[in-house]
Amino acid sequence: MSNPNDNEVIYSHIKSLNILYVEDTKVTRLLFESIVSKLVNKIIYANDGEEGYQKFLDNEVDLIITDYAMPKSNGLDMVEKIREKDTEVPIILVSAIEDLEVFIRALNLDISAFIRKPINQNELLLSIEKMAKVFVANKYLQRQKNEQLRELQEKDKYKTYQEDLAFEKELNILRNDFYYQMTDYNHNVTLIDFLYHPLDVMSGDAYSARRIDEDTILYIVVDGMGKGLSASLTAMIFISFANHLIDKMLFLDDFSLSILISETMEYIKPILLDEESLSLDYVLVNNKDEQLYYSKFAMPPLLMQNSGLVKIKSNNPPMSKYSQTFNIDKYDISGVTKFIMYSDGIVENETKFNNRPYSEFIEQDFIESFTREDMKNKFMEKIDKQEDDVTLIFMNRITQNSKNIAHKKFKSTLANIDIANEWYEALWNNLCTDTKTLYQAGMVFTELYMNAHEHGNLAIDANYKNYLMENDIYFETLEKKEKEVDKYVDIKIDKIKHGSVYYIITKITDEGNGFDTQILSKIFRNSQKFHGRGVFVSRKNSFGIYYTSKGNSVLYLNKIEESSLIKEA
């Protein structure tokens, strides 16, 4: 549920807008006027790009909506001239053209949104509302930033603040469609985890993890040559363009790994210095066909585990300004249970063992690791200090080896919360003797089950819950909502043996509408500032939590040492 006050601010901003609308077709202008005229302050009309540019100079304009194909001067020619005067004004491009070059040029001109022709009323209004939300959010962020700057009077504090902003920008440039997510293809669950540890604020590493479609995932890992600002600029410029290109391909429903590699190579070549090179991994995983497509440019081997250990070595030299061709190969991943991709900052790091590089240990550590956290701990235990930027992507296809030990559904009622907790506690008492493990498993279950019941099935969001609590009508409202819904919480528990330990996998699924799981990145970056403390606490007391992309199902791991496991009769 959105905050009513936020909506008032957004719609108030829309009512104050002066929109410059550039369109040469009279019928389309009349349609636009019938949709928008009563919602905004003023519409300024222009028939072509030349007139549009002049009217932009002569008027106060808050938002520009322009057609692409027009006489005299097309929409992007006009935008190019406007950007010389104003780099901030939001611009929406309306076009029936699906030319990739047009989209690339538009993005380079900072076009804020695209609308297809013929104009659809809902799409148009949503785009205007989106621009208003961005304006309100930027205004809020600017106000917060100004308040912070006033408090930063000491030089060291200001320096730290600038470094935090730079790192926050880096995190925004990286794209991760799987932040604390699992993939669930035909009930084959894969847990995807990321480790991104720059040595300094400006990182020479970058990565992207993108959902191409329901079957296919793309991973890119970039490692710039050297350290410091130069390597960071190269890596961030590259990954920014790659993500823009992927976005356009997905928008056009026309993704091609070969075109992506070719276009990114041609883009980065003029930027690279004569002696500079770039190490890269492009890895495309198709879960439906069980195929892994890869193009590796002088990167460490990709490790996979099936009945043994598989090493996928580079099939291309490092990318440089002289690169012309590249290879794409594939590998059958049916039967593969784990993958790991990483930058050379891991394998080249010296260890405590006679300064031997970690490359001599990574294969065995990978075999022995069940989660990214296991892998990270093994790495950190073997080194004295981190020597370079570290990027690691760890994928575990857990259903390959799991065994179901319990499955039960509970109707969404307040009374069943206690019943479900008692059932879960009894199950764990028959699995484990370690009191700390029992306590942590119970705590996580209570938090996430309550989320499934309250936020999922009853659709009570955090703001509404706060309102109910403040007015002392929380339980009364819960009882009322329980009578209005007929929904269940599904609990599935599996067990996996890995080496000398056992992992208990609990999956909680509600029948609600889910939520945008990208909000988890904000929760985990700042647990004090955002709602979702329950999720934060759950992560701290488990060995990982993972949501489906819809957000209505969550899986978490608990580990039982063999010494505290209760043997089956």
Please answer whether residues 19 and 43 qualify as being in contact, where contact means their C-beta atoms are separated by less than 8 angstroms: yes
Average pLDDT, the chain: 87
* Terminal-residue alpha carbon distance, the chain: 49
Please answer whether residues 474 and 511 qualify as being in contact, where contact means their C-beta atoms are separated by less than 8 angstroms: no
pLDDT of 201 reads 67
Taking each helix axis from N to C end, the angle separating 155-173 and 229-251, rounded to the nearest 10 degrees, works out to 40
Question: What is the C-alpha separation between 506 and 508, in angstroms, rounded?
Answer: 7
Please answer whether residues 224 and 299 qualify as being in contact, where contact means their C-beta atoms are separated by less than 8 angstroms: no
**Ramachandran region, residue 315 (left: φ > 0; alpha: ψ -120 to 50; beta: rest):** alpha
Domains of the chain: 4-136 (3.40.50.2300), 168-400 (3.60.40.10), 403-564 (3.30.565.10)
pLDDT of 514 reads 84
Give me the torsion for CA of 420, 424, 429, 433, rounded to 10°.
-130
Tokens at 317, concatenated: 């030299």
> Residue 220 is inside which H or E element, if any?
strand 216-224
Please enumerate in sequence order all residues whose Cβ is within 8 A of that of 340, keeping only pairs 6 or more positions apart, or say none: 302, 303, 304, 366, 375, 392, 393, 394, 395
pLDDT of 528 reads 46
Residues listed for the chain: 569
> Residue 116 is inside which H or E element, if any?
strand 113-116
Angle 101-103-108 from CA coordinates, rounded to 5°: 95
pLDDT of 168 reads 66
Residues of the chain with confidence (pLDDT) below 50: 1-2, 527-531, 569
pLDDT of 530 reads 41
Q: Is the pTM of this model over 0.75?
A: no
Q: Using one digit for the tens of pLDDT, what is the confidence trace for 359-407?
A: 999 999 999 999 999 999 999 999 999 999 899 999 998 876 778 899 9
Taking each helix axis from N to C end, the angle separating 474-484 and 414-429, rounded to the nearest 10 degrees, works out to 90
Query: Cα–chain-centroid distance for residue 323?
Result: 31
